[in-house]
Structure formats: structure tokens, C-alpha cells
């Protein structure tokens, strides 16, 4: 049976002879017995429980925030339309504390919920006890135990600072019996939180191995700590937190670059790197998510291991495969790709998909970047599945029976393409599409290279920026001509934009896009807030746009529910690994030209009560205020500028410090 990130399976813990309520005891201060740290097995169970609290909800690559893991932020990006949540809803203006993000957690109770500061406390407990109470445990075990807690604590503070900016920094175990002035910790500056995160990551890197043995694969490593330092410092250097971001000599960009290069060197020496080679035209790129089954994969820096077990308890299942498979393949119906995503990916030579470069939006499937064919499935695509009684070639069009739309193979989606990335041909609906065991790579080596490229761009070193972007494109077989299709970059702003573009393609549907939008403040420009990044980078603001749905529709109205295009489909079966790939694409193009027109959905992809709406993410949403239920019992916490505090007064906390 596969194990989840951190090598934990609750079922295994429950049946090892330990007291069954051991894990429950961790939830309450008054039942906690520090003597467990005298025992290596029980300390191991404790560590596993901390991992579980962090990652048990992590079942899909598009979810974010340790502990809760939901897809709300991904649904605020161009990647997925149809959900107009509060923060992009133009009909709402959120400024009051009761409307703030609830991630911070509820006030403390006798029985603690799994919230950020509970998770931080559990890390602090082990860090404070393992070398005193557990002094007789093997030194190597104590080191790796501490290293994992430092990295876990850093991850939690990183998500807190990304949601709220500065938050209280707690690195010791607080007790309700302590003097009030010692536990009433105010919000630290954002810069201080970043510094604490980096300190924890440095500690983790010094204590953890660069790779674990096979039995512990999935636990955090020194490689993960070094790579996370790159991600954290890149965020700290970005415009959201750095008012001096436009200064190419800014120390924060240099620190982020230094961290990225140090991580690259150390990870490369330890056997990490880009998985696959350009000669396969993206085949390896697609396979890396499922080829290595619970074993080292050089691309995977941080990985969430998911189970293929048929047990119904104590397992962590993959929720992605079923959600994106179309109805005809026994999935949940698929994730319709907005037109904005279909039209995003480069052409085969790496150039942007523009009419001037020969891009045809109707025949969008022609002549695209190899990653396009591994990210999306479309009519005529071969999408392998284990069973032979369901089609491996999918069709996504509709026809009109009079005025009633009828969908090919019952696949009712508001797009001519659906997301297919990170799936496996071994998926079986008979076993269960949620039991594929396909893991989630939370941090890939490709992201590390993209981090480095962006730092070079921000520093004005365009030549090195292009070298690192070229590594990403070369791996999937994009020709090297014209800087891998990137072309000449006029200045650092064009280089930064090229990096953000490449991240959208390479990391699509991996839960990263929102954080890039947020740290560069790409929803809007707001002179009053000192936000002009869209204008600087030449990027159109996301506000005022909407995710667009489309249908491929048969040109002729019929009077039957019988598919009129079955014969015309013929034997089309588009497989990017097949020798006749280009021939099959051309056959589909002919099919489209003869039979298909584009039509708008009966209801816009982005709508409220059926009426089309455009995204409107307001300036104060980039960093949330603190919620009212927290402020009411922690009156020493100040509210964020742009939000009202518990009494309705304007917030005063400046997250940019």
C-alpha cells in the first residue's frame, strides 16, 4: 500500500499494538504526555500524526493551503471557470472582519481543531522535548525528527504569510498558565515572518538527508528545504511584499537568486533534475507523474504519496483522476478548459499562438507545444484507460435536435477540450478511479529552474534568464531556434513576463497560478496602492475578463438524438506518441472543417444566476484581514490596512513592512 507524504498510514498505526487513542490524545493539551519522546516508535507516531494533520486533505494537485487544502484559489484563476467565488465576484465588496479569510483558525478550545497554530504548536512540542526528554534516543533519529518539524513549521508560516502578511511568530510551547503578556504575541512584520521561515528552512536543510531510503520515501528532505527557501525568498522579493521590486539591484532579488542557485547545485549533486529528454517530445514529461511508483523520481522534490489500496479506511486516495475523466470513461464529467487556457500554450516552435504566427482558434489542436497534448484532451484524442468497455478516444461536440442540444457520448462540457494532465493509463473505473495511486508532485525541479529564471529577469540578466527558460523548453523538445521560440527580450520587464508565461504553461493545474498572480498583483493596477505591475510588465489585468466556454457544434440541425457524426469520425485516434500523429491531426482538422462550428454555451462559463459576469478582485484581497472571531478574543492583534477591525475601525497593520 502506498503511503502519504511523510510516510504515514493511519491504518498501519492503529494496528501496531499502540494504544488506539494515542493520536486522539494529541488533540488536547491536558492529556498530552511528553514521555512518549522517550520511545522511538511513539515519537515516530507523533511525527506521522503531524504530517497527517498537514496533508491528509491533499488529494488533488489544484488544492492549496496546508491543513485545509481546497481549490478556491485555483478557481480564481484562468485555469478553471464556472465558480465565481466571493473574492472575484464583482457584486461583492469585502472589507469587514467577518468577511476575512478563515484560514487563521478558530479561537483555542479545550479540544483543539486542526488549525495553523495547532500545527505549529505540535511542531514546537517536539522541538522543545526531543533533545531533553528524548535525550537517550539515537542522535541521527533526533536530528531528522527535528529537521522535519522545522520544515513543517516553515511551511505553515509560509502559507500564513501568503494569506495574511505578518502574523504572530510562536516558536515555543505556550501554556495557558503563562503570564498574559508572554502569550499575547502581536503580529510580526511580514519581513520578520519571512526571516523566521528561512531560519527554519536552513535548520531543516542542515538536519535532513538529501534523499531518504526507500522505506521513508516521501518524508521531507534537505533537498525540499533548499528548494522551499528558493520559493519563499522569491515570494518575499515579489511586488506584493517588496516595494523596491523594480530595483534590479534590490537585495531581495539577489537573496532569492542565491538560494535558487545553491539549491540547484545541491540537488543536482544529489541526483535530482528534469525528468525525461526532449527527444521524446513530452512523453517522459507526461509519464513522470505515474511512472515511478512510490520510488525516487528525480523531478519530485516534494511529493504527496497517494494510495492504490482497496481498503476503505486509513488511506489517502487520489481525487484528481476521477474528477477530470469524462462521463463516458466513468469519471465525474471532466474539467472544461476555458478558451483562455486553450489559446495560451505556445506553438510547436515555441512562439506565442497568435494569428500572425499562424494560430487558428477553431483548429487549436494543430502545431502546438508538446505539453499541450499532455495537458488537454480534445475530440479525437486517445486518452488511455485500463478497461476496454469504455472508449479510449473521446469526443466533445454537440448537435441540435431541433432546439435541444445533444452531446457526443454524453460528455456535456462547455469546452472543446478538457484537462487530462497528471493522469495514468492504468486508471481503472472497476477498481476505482480514485485508487490509481498517482502521486502529487507539490514541488518539481522545473519550478526551481523557473524560480532562478525569474530572479535573473528581475535583476536584468536577460541572457541567463533565457538559458533557464530554455532548459524547461528543451526538455519537451521545443527547437532551440530563436531562443526556443521565446525570441529576443527587450528588457527585464519582457523577461519577467516571459517567466510568468512559462510558469503558466509548465505548471498549469498544479496549484501554483494563484500565488503567481497574487505576488505580482496581476488582477489589477491601482495607483493609490502603488500597484502598477500589469502596466510595467505589459500584461493585461485579469479584472474585467471572464473565463470563456465554447462548444464544437455540428453545422446542421437534426431531428434525432442519434449522433450524426459517427461515420465522419471514422478511425481518428490522436496519440502524440504514434508515428502517424500529424496525419491524425490533419484528419481531425478535415473533420472540423467539414462539420463543426464554434458556438457559445447556453449559459456563460462565468455567470451569477445565469448572467455573465467579469472577474473583479479588489486590491485589499491580495492579503486578507484577520477574521472577527479571532480578533474578538485576541484584541492585541491589529487589523490589516484595507480591512475593518472587530469594532469597525480601519485596519492599521501594514503587511508590506
Confidence of residue 135 (pLDDT cuts 50, 70, 90): very high
pLDDT value of position 307: 82
> Nearest Cα to 148, choosing from 295, 27, 269, 8?
8
> Is the pLDDT at 31 greater than 70, yes or no?
no
> Is the pLDDT at 26 greater than 80, yes or no?
no
Q: Do 551 and 599 form a contact (C-beta atoms < 8 A)?
A: yes
Q: Where are the domains of the chain?
A: 320-438+551-599
C-alpha cell at 9: 498510514
pLDDT value of position 9: 34
What pLDDT digit, counting tens, does each position of 364-410 carry?
Answer: 999 999 999 999 999 999 999 999 999 999 999 999 999 999 999 99
- β-bridge pairing 417-419 and 404-407: unpaired
Q: From CA 612, how far away is CA 146, in angstroms rounded?
A: 52
> Is the pLDDT at 625 greater than 70, yes or no?
yes
> Is the pLDDT at 197 greater than 80, yes or no?
yes
> Is the pLDDT at 248 greater than 80, yes or no?
yes
> Is the pLDDT at 74 greater than 80, yes or no?
yes
For the beta carbon of residue 541, count every other beta carbon within 10 angstroms: 18
> Is the pLDDT at 32 greater than 80, yes or no?
no
Residue at grid coordinates 528524548 = 134
Q: Which residues contact 184 (CB under 8 A, 6 or more apart)?
A: 634, 636
**How many Cα neighbours within 13 Å face the side chain of 633?**
8
Region of residue 82 (phi > 0: left; psi between -120 and 50: alpha; otherwise: beta): left
> Nearest Cα to 383, choosing from 321, 292, 435?
321
pLDDT value of position 308: 79
Q: Nearest 5°: phi and psi at 300?
A: -85, 110
Quote the longest CA-to-CA distance of the chain: 81
Q: From CA 240, how far away is CA 228, in angstroms rounded?
A: 19
Q: From CA 36, how far away is CA 621, in angstroms rounded?
A: 43
Q: Do 405 and 398 form a contact (C-beta atoms < 8 A)?
A: yes
Q: Do 51 and 519 form a contact (C-beta atoms < 8 A)?
A: no
What pLDDT digit, counting tens, does each position of 540-597 carry?
Answer: 999 999 999 999 999 999 999 999 999 999 999 999 999 999 999 999 999 999 999 9
What pLDDT digit, counting tens, does each position of 257-293 carry?
Answer: 999 999 999 999 999 999 998 899 999 999 999 987 7
pLDDT value of position 1: 30
Confidence of residue 5 (pLDDT cuts 50, 70, 90): very low
C-alpha 584: how far from chain center: 33
Q: Nearest 5°: phi and psi at 136?
A: -90, -5
What pLDDT digit, counting tens, does each position of 312-371 carry?
Answer: 666 688 899 999 999 999 999 999 999 999 999 999 999 999 999 999 999 999 999 999
Confidence of residue 2 (pLDDT cuts 50, 70, 90): very low
> Is the pLDDT at 108 greater than 60, yes or no?
no
Q: What letter does residue 503 receive in the DSSP assignment?
A: H
Q: From CA 161, how far away is CA 459, in angstroms rounded?
A: 24
pLDDT value of position 294: 76
Q: From CA 488, how far away is CA 556, in angstroms rounded?
A: 46
Q: Do 550 and 415 form a contact (C-beta atoms < 8 A)?
A: yes
pLDDT value of position 176: 67
Query: Residue 611 belongs to what H/E stretch?
Result: strand 611-612
Residue at grid coordinates 510595467 = 536
> Nearest Cα to 438, choosing from 306, 574, 588?
306
C-alpha 422: how far from chain center: 12
The pLDDT mean for the chain works out to 92
Strand, helix or coil for residue 640: strand
The pTM of the full predicted model, rounded to 2 decimals, is 0.94
> Nearest Cα to 189, choosing from 620, 631, 653, 649?
653
Amino acid at each position: 500500500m502506498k503511503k502519504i507524504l511523510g510516510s504515514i498510514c493511519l491504518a498501519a498505526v492503529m494496528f501496531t499494538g499502540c494504544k488506539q487513542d494515542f493520536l486522539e490524545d494529541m488533540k488536547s493539551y491536558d492529556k498530552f504526555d511528553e514521555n512518549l519522546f522517550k520511545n522511538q516508535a511513539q515519537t515516530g507516531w507523533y511525527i506521522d500524526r503531524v504530517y497527517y494533520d498537514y496533508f491528509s486533505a491533499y488529494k488533488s494537485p489544484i488544492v492549496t493551503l496546508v491543513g485545509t487544502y481546497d481549490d478556491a484559489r485555483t478557481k480564481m484563476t484562468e485555469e478553471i471557470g464556472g465558480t465565481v467565488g466571493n473574492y472575484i465576484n464583482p457584486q461583492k465588496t469585502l472589507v469587514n472582519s467577518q468577511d476575512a479569510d478563515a484560514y487563521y483558525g478558530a479561537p483555542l478550545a479545550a479540544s483543539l481543531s486542526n488549525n495553523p497554530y495547532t500545527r505549529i504548536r505540535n511542531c514546537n512540542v517536539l522541538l522543545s522535548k526531543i533533545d531533553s526528554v528524548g535525550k537517550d534516543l539515537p542522535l541521527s533519529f533526533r536530528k531528522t525528527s527535528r529537521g522535519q518539524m522545522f520544515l513543517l513549521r516553515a511551511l505553515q508560516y509560509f502559507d500564513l504569510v501568503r494569506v495574511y502578511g505578518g502574523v504572530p511568530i510562536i516558536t515555543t510551547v505556550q501554556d495557558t498558565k503563562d503570564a498574559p503578556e508572554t502569550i499575547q504575541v502581536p503580529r510580526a512584520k511580514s519581513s520578520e515572518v519571512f526571516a523566521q521561515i528561512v531560519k527554519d528552512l536552513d535548520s531543516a536543510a542542515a538536519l535532513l538527508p538529501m534523499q531518504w531510503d526507500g522505506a521513508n520515501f516521501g518524508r521531507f528532505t534537505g533537498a525540499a528545504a533548499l528548494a522551499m527557501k528558493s520559493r519563499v525568498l522569491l515570494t518575499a522579493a515579489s511586488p506584493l511584499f517588496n516595494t523596491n521590486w523594480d530595483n534590479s539591484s534590490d537585495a531581495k532579488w539577489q537573496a532569492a537568486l542565491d538560494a535558487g542557485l545553491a539549491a540547484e547545485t545541491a540537488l543536482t549533486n544529489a541526483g535530482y533534475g528534469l525528468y525525461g529528454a526532449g527527444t521524446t517530445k513530452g512523453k517522459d514529461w507526461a509519464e513522470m507523474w505515474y511512472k515511478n511508483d512510490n520510488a525516487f523520481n528525480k523531478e519530485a522534490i516534494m511529493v504527496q504519496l497517494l494510495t492504490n489500496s482497496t481498503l476503505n479506511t486509513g488511506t489517502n486516495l487520489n481525487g484528481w483522476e476521477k474528477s477530470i475523466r469524462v462521463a463516458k470513461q466513468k469519471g465525474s464529467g471532466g474539467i472544461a478548459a476555458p478558451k483562455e487556457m486553450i489559446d495560451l500554450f505556445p506553438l510547436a516552435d515555441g512562439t506565442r499562438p497568435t494569428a500572425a504566427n499562424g494560430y487558428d482558434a477553431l483548429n487549436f489542436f494543430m502545431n502546438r507545444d508538446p505539453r499541450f497534448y499532455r495537458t488537454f484532451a480534445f475530440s479525437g484524442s486517445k486518452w488511455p484507460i485500463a478497461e476496454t468497455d469504455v472508449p479510449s478516444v473521446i469526443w466533445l461536440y454537440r448537435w441540435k435536435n431541433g432546439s435541444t442540444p445533444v452531446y457526443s457520448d454524453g460528455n456535456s462540457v462547455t469546452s472543446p477540450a478538457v484537462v487530462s494532465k497528471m493522469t495514468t493509463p492504468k486508471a481503472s473505473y472497476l477498481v476505482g478511479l480514485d485508487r490509481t495511486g498517482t502521486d502529487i508532485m507539490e514541488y518539481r525541479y522545473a519550478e526551481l529552474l523557473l524560480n532562478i529564471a525569474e530572479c535573473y529577469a528581475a535583476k536584468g540578466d536577460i541572457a541567463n534568464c533565457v538559458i533557464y527558460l530554455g532548459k524547461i523548453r528543451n526538455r519537451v523538445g521545443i527547437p532551440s531556434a530563436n531562443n526556443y521560440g521565446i525570441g529576443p527580450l527587450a528588457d527585464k520587464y519582457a523577461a519577467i513576463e516571459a517567466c510568468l508565461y512559462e510558469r503558466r504553461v509548465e505548471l498549469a493545474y498544479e496549484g501554483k497560478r494563484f500565488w503567481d498572480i497574487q505576488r505580482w498583483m496581476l488582477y489589477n493596477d491601482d495607483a493609490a496602492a502603488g500597484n502598477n505591475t500589469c502596466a510595467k510588465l505589459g500584461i493585461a489585468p485579469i479584472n474585467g475578463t471572464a473565463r470563456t466556454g465554447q462548444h464544437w457544434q455540428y453545422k446542421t440541425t437534426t431531428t434525432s438524438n442519434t449522433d450524426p457524426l459517427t461515420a465522419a469520425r471514422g478511425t481518428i485516434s490522436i496519440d502524440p506518441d504514434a508515428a502517424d500523429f500529424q496525419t491524425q491531426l490533419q484528419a481531425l482538422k478535415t473533420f472540423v472543417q467539414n462539420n463543426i462550428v464554434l458556438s457559445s454555451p447556453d449559459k456563460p462559463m462565468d455567470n451569477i444566476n445565469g448572467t455573465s459576469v467579469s472577474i473583479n478582485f479588489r486590491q485589499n484581497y491580495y492579503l486578507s484581514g484577520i477574521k472577527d472571531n479571532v480578533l474578538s478574543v485576541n484584541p492585541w492583534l491589529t487589523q490589516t490596512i484595507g480591512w475593518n477591525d472587530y469594532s469597525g475601525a480601519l485596519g492599521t497593520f501594514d503587511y508590506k513592512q
